[in-house]
Chains A and B, each alone.
Chain A
Amino acid sequence: GQNIDQPTEMTATEGAIVQINCTYQTSGFNGLFWYQQHAGEAPTFLSYNVLDGLEEKGRFSSFLSRSKGYSYLLLKELQMKDSASYLCAPRYNTDKLIFGTGTRLQVFP
């Protein structure tokens, strides 16, 4: 498999910053997606990284290191509505996305 590894659960408080890490197998790697999924709903697109480095998009940023097989999603100024699962999904030499088990983030007041 692609050995996608991300923490199962994380907690944080409103207004804080949280970093969700993801490691994956590098062989055949082409790019990495992050999706947000609220309970009982379909995933929504957050970011897509192909090149090394940090891409910022509002309160959310995503980082990629291709050589290390490592990515993280950074969430700033956390809000209660950010409580959700965050799915790391690398893309390999096909159209398919391989989803990790997701990180369930709980934001407390």
Chain B
Amino acid sequence: GAVVSQHPSWVICKSGTSVKIECRSLDFQATTMFWYRQFPKQSLMLMATSNEGSKATYEQGVEKDKFLINHASLTLSTLTVTSAHPEDSSFYICSARRQSAYEQYFGPGTRLTVT
């Protein structure tokens, strides 16, 4: 199988603080990982594409200094939401892709609430 985990599954933080979300591929090596954000009753919006060992590619309108992405190994990518504000409250989902494959395997998601 292809299992992707995320940690934490949910987090509540105060406005102005930073939150780190981890995405791990448990049984395969993920050359590429993707970070999505999903607001209630809306579709998944791609935030950035992360390739192991290189800088992430951010989608238009996504602030790279606010959403820091690190893809340190073939099994781990992290997303840090810096100086979080209530409008950053959302469901953050990562996905991972094997080399030479197109299918993306999704993690279970992280629900972030900023108070």
Interface of A is mostly: loop
Which residues of chain A from 37 to 70 have a CB within 8 Å of any chain B CB? 40-45, 48
User: Is the CB–CB distance between B105 and A41 below 8 Å?
Assistant: no
Which residues of chain A from 1 to 21 have a CB within 8 Å of any chain B CB? none
Across the A-B interface, the 7 shortest Cβ-Cβ residue pairs:
A42-B106, A99-B44, A101-B43, A99-B43, A42-B109, A43-B106, A42-B108
Q: How many A-B residue pairs have CB under 8 A?
A: 47
A-chain residues with CB within 8 Å of residue B87 when the two chains form the complex: none
Q: What residue of chain A has the Cβ atom nearest to residue B110's Cβ?
A: A42
Q: A42-B108, A100-B43 are in contact. Are A91 and B102 (CB under 8 A)?
A: yes
Residues of B within 8 A of A (CB): 32, 34, 42-46, 49, 91, 93, 97, 102-109, 111
Interface of B is mostly: strand
Out of B34, B42, B103, B108, which one reaches A45, CB within 8 Å?
B103
Out of A31, A35, A40, A44, which one reaches B102, CB within 8 Å?
A31
Residues of A within 8 A of B (CB): 30-31, 33, 35, 40-45, 48, 87, 91, 95-102
A17 vs B38: C-alpha distance in the bound complex, in angstroms? 29
Taking the closest CB of chain B, its distance from the CB of A45, in whole angstroms, is: 6
User: Is the CB–CB distance between B43 and A87 below 8 Å?
Assistant: yes
Out of A30, A33, A41, A87, which one reaches B108, CB within 8 Å?
A41
B-chain residues with CB within 8 Å of residue A42 when the two chains form the complex: 93, 106-109
| 7 cross-chain CB contacts under 8 A | A33-B104, A41-B108, A42-B93, A42-B106, A42-B108, A42-B109, A96-B49
User: Is the CB–CB distance between B42 and A101 below 8 Å?
Assistant: yes
> Quick one: which of B44, B46, B103, B104 has the most chain A CB within 10 A?
B44
Taking the closest CB of chain A, its distance from the CB of B24, in whole angstroms, is: 14
> Quick one: which of A30, A41, A42, A45 has the most chain B CB within 10 A?
A42
User: Is the CB–CB distance between A96 and B46 below 8 Å?
Assistant: yes
A95 vs B32: C-alpha distance in the bound complex, in angstroms? 9
Q: What residue of chain B has the Cβ atom nearest to residue A104's Cβ?
A: B41
Taking the closest CB of chain A, its distance from the CB of B2, in whole angstroms, is: 9
Q: What residue of chain B has the Cβ atom nearest to residue A95's Cβ?
A: B32
